[in-house]
Structure 1
Amino acid sequence: MVRHSPRAPHAPAPVFTPMATAASCVGFVLIGVLQALYGPAIPALREDFGLSPSTAGLALSAHFVGGVAGVLLFDRLHGRIGNRRILAASYLLMAAGAAGFALAPNWPAALAAALLAGLGFGGIDYGLNQLFAVGFGRRSAAMLNILNAHFGIGAILGPALIGAVGAEHYPTVFLAFALVNLPLLLCLKGVRDKAPQPTGVTVPPAGPTPRTRSLVSVLAVFVALYVLHVGIEAGVGGWEPTHLETVGYGAGVAATATSVYWLMMTIGRFLVAPLALRFPAPAIIAVSCAGMTACLLLAAVPALAPYAYAGVGLFIAPVFPTGLPWLHRAAPSAGRAGALVIAASMAGGVAAGPSLGKVIEWSGIRAVPLLLAAVSAVCLAATLWLIRATRTAGAAPGH
């Protein structure tokens, strides 16, 4: 006797078709490229506009300010105008901003264009992370790691492109970037227009329960985790070369080791994707925070430092993408939670440089890995607190 499995009466359409999923990964390559283009273009920007180093660096700051604004703006709009229009507007803004930066007649116009490109960047970063976090069910953490690994590919390609053509030809690279965005608009028809609800979530009963903390406290600790871990990410990327040179390595070795750090972050996200199908997100993040804390402590030993920094890249890789599905399960009623932590992570990247720089002024360059290890230990403590705070009967996450 053949038994037929009952079919769901209203099986929802998938959030992404295979083509749209692939196009989303290409979109993340592009936002990685864009973020990484500004730094290598600084010498040419200084020459073209007569800028000091700090003034030229404002291009990346404008990009990040636009990114934070884009996350918050598009989060407010996505429930009203649909996912396809949000993503289409983001790609168009990013393309228009990149083209404007390439053709800007003066520095204020270039900064305005970088801000415009950042708006689109923030929309893509928020929109795709949000949809991947809720659109693949138990595979969401794995798919988010794959998506964000493509950002790393773009971040590696960006400086390579500038290096290949020469910094003086940065307008050509930015214009080419703007054009490459446009074909992705054709793939948006494969994106489900209405945002789905998080899957695999047990709605908590009304009123407080003995094993849950207040929603505000949970969100606050998630925000702290994201701000601090992005601060570590940016801090290692910014200060690793200086620290390695201070402890005796040559400039070439220091630069190569820093490139390996970013490469290991990209590889780590690909490697953790299959693990995210077997292990819960909280466990992965706890191991990641413990691992990066240990590696940062080892980086204080000069002979181990280049290898330890590579380990930091490997362990820090899963935190951002793996945490988003956990956040959606832990706070299903907080519709703005994803936007809040993504915007906070961008703010953490902006604040990391000057904040860490001030501390280093009195502690010295050799203390960089120990300072970052202390921050990483706080990330681990926050993760352990969240594991206890979000553990509820019948709602344990699994993959």
Structure 2
Amino acid sequence: MHTVPSPSDTAQRPDRAFTAPAVVASCVGFVLIGALQSLYGPALPALRSEYGLSPSGAGLALSAHFVGGVTGVLGFDRAFGRIGNRALLGVSYALMALGSTAFAFSPDWPLALLGALVTGFGFGGIDYGLNQLFATGFGRRSPAMLNILNAHFGIGAIAGPALVGLLGADRYPAVFTAFAVLAALLLIPLGGVRDRTPGPADNRPAGTADDPTSSRGSRAPALLAAFVALYVLHVAVEAGVGGWEPTHLEAVGYSTAFAASATSVYWLMLTLGRFLVAPLTLRWSEPAIIAVSCAGMACCLLAAVLPGLAPYAYAGVGLFIAPIFPTGLPWLRRAVPAARRAGALVIAASMVGGVAAGPVLGKAIELFEVRTVPAVLFALAGACQAATWWLTRATRAPLGR
């Protein structure tokens, strides 16, 4: 289906996918999805009380959200390019508004789970859609803009639980309703999004290093597998620190309150790191930034083995791990241009890595002890570094611009 460009399309620079108000609205959209993902945990006590649930039963809400997220990423990827960007984002925001409202006012638990699933569909569409558009919609500034966009996800992830804590867990319906209204309002600025954008392989001379007909095309499956491994592993580390840092700190002698505060600092540093690295992406290549990030993450996890350094080392992990997810997407699009669905696969893989991190790390800790948390995560960080080194050699990326 061909869409005639609107005036708001033609008024923009040809290499830009967003007007300035649409960029701001997109960042608000990432605050929204960060907050929605983080709301289920603080709401668990009220959910258990209202619906008479066991802890595992109440935890199904977050599982339903993530299942919807993965399905939304893969489903909307199939529609990407077939329908306009505004329609893709508009349907995603509408699904989040509908799902959040259903979750807030469901008379029974199965309907609430359906609401979480629908919210997840919209979440996946926004996560995928905006990351894809930001990866190509700002020219060489795309890595910087992706870091800024994803930093706003962290702002939402910090603000969501704080809001529930301020109002009380029993007021979670009001919080979900407020975010449903915000999702509906974000439909308004979509006129500033270019409805059609060039694909990653468009306007690329044949025979270049990134051309899908070049020799690199034959290695596309191996490159894509390495990127998927990098994303699964680093998100597993990210979620692993967030989930197990309090337990580890308590095990080595810190108070419960201190451990909780230290974990909040970790998430704050992860958010701050994305803002700080944005200007660096204009001077250094994506492989160089990710290599330094992986090395710093590994060193900090090694330092976390020492109880006296652990809280500060975990904060360092947050700072170093921050740029990997957003900075890797433009690198992926250049390295594997023939794989149109590459972005969807790594984003979906990152969600699977986040879901799997808790039980997998829990099993590993059962076999050893909770004090080994930094060592287990260090091994994962080392694997991230190995994947980055291999990808850097395979793509022959320069160390700096």
Query: Shorter-normalised TM-score: what interval?
Result: over 0.9
Which of 250, 253, 272 aligns to 2:258? It is: 253
**Residue aligned with 1:57, SS:** helix
Question: Structure 1 length normalisation: TM-score?
Answer: 0.94
Show the counterpart of 1:235. 240
Contact 2:301–2:374 under 8 Å retained in 1: yes
Q: Which amino acid aligns with 1:31?
A: I
**Alignment of structure 1 residues 153-192 onto 2, 5 Å:** 153-192=155-194
Which of 38, 62, 65 aligns to 1:63? It is: 65
Contact 2:134–2:142 under 8 Å retained in 1: yes
Show the counterpart of 2:309. 304
Structure 2 spans left out of the alignment, 5+ residues: 1-11
Q: CA deviation at 1:197?
A: 2.4
CA–CA separation in structure 2 for the residues paired with 1:383 and 1:249: 35
**Structure 1 residues 117 and 397, CA, compared in 2 at 3 Å: closer, same or farther?**
farther
Which of 32, 35, 41 aligns to 1:33? It is: 35
Show the counterpart of 1:293. 298
**Structure 1 residues 397 and 194, CA, compared in 2 at 3 Å: closer, same or farther?**
farther
Identity of aligned residues (%): 68
1:208 and 2:215 matched: yes
Show the counterpart of 1:4. none
**Structure 1 residues 79 and 197, CA, compared in 2 at 3 Å: closer, same or farther?**
closer
Deviation by residue 1:5-45 (Cα, 9 ceiling, x = unmatched):
xxxxx972621000101100000000001001100000000
Deviation by residue 1:356-394 (Cα, 9 ceiling, x = unmatched):
1111101110000000000000000000000000117xx
**Residue aligned with 2:198, SS:** coil
CA–CA separation in structure 1 for the residues paired with 2:211 and 2:83: 29
1:335 and 2:337 matched: no
**Structure 1 residues 259 and 222, CA, compared in 2 at 3 Å: closer, same or farther?**
same
CA–CA separation in structure 2 for the residues paired with 1:292 and 1:105: 45
How many residue pairs align between the two structures?
Answer: 385
Report runs of 4+ in structure 1 exceeding 6 Å deviation: none
Question: Structure 2 length normalisation: TM-score?
Answer: 0.93
Question: What is the aligned-residue RMSD (CA, Å)?
Answer: 1.6
Q: CA deviation at 1:308?
A: 0.2
Structure 1 spans left out of the alignment, 5+ residues: 1-9
Which of 324, 327, 333 aligns to 1:322? It is: 327
Show the counterpart of 1:92. 94
Show the counterpart of 1:225. 230
**Structure 1 residues 213 and 272, CA, compared in 2 at 3 Å: closer, same or farther?**
farther
Q: CA deviation at 1:397?
A: 8.5
**Structure 1 residues 200 and 354, CA, compared in 2 at 3 Å: closer, same or farther?**
farther
Deviation by residue 1:137-162 (Cα, 9 ceiling, x = unmatched):
11111000000000000001000110
Q: CA deviation at 1:207?
A: 5.2
Which of 104, 116, 120 aligns to 1:114? It is: 116
Show the counterpart of 2:104. 102
Deviation by residue 1:105-140 (Cα, 9 ceiling, x = unmatched):
111111110000000000000000000001111111
Deviation by residue 1:71-110 (Cα, 9 ceiling, x = unmatched):
0000001221111000000000001000000001111111
**Residue aligned with 1:14, SS:** coil
1:268 and 2:273 matched: yes
**Structure 1 residues 108 and 268, CA, compared in 2 at 3 Å: closer, same or farther?**
same
CA–CA separation in structure 2 for the residues paired with 1:14 and 1:287: 29
CA–CA separation in structure 1 for the residues paired with 2:333 and 2:77: 15
**Structure 1 residues 106 and 299, CA, compared in 2 at 3 Å: closer, same or farther?**
same
**Residue aligned with 2:81, SS:** helix
Deviation by residue 1:145-196 (Cα, 9 ceiling, x = unmatched):
0000000000010001101110001001111110011121111111111132
Q: Which amino acid aligns with 2:306?
A: V
1:244 and 2:240 matched: no
Q: Which amino acid aligns with 1:380?
A: Q
Contact 2:212–2:336 under 8 Å retained in 1: no
Contact 1:200–1:329 under 8 Å retained in 2: no
**Residue aligned with 2:340, SS:** coil
Contact 1:29–1:155 under 8 Å retained in 2: yes
Q: CA deviation at 1:208?
A: 2.7
CA–CA separation in structure 2 for the residues paired with 1:207 and 1:315: 34
**Residue aligned with 2:311, SS:** helix
CA–CA separation in structure 2 for the residues paired with 1:146 and 1:115: 27
Show the counterpart of 2:17. 15
Which of 361, 378, 382 aligns to 1:377? It is: 382
**Residue aligned with 1:163, SS:** helix
**Residue aligned with 1:79, SS:** coil
Contact 2:212–2:338 under 8 Å retained in 1: no
Q: CA deviation at 1:398?
A: 6.2
CA–CA separation in structure 1 for the residues paired with 2:334 and 2:203: 8
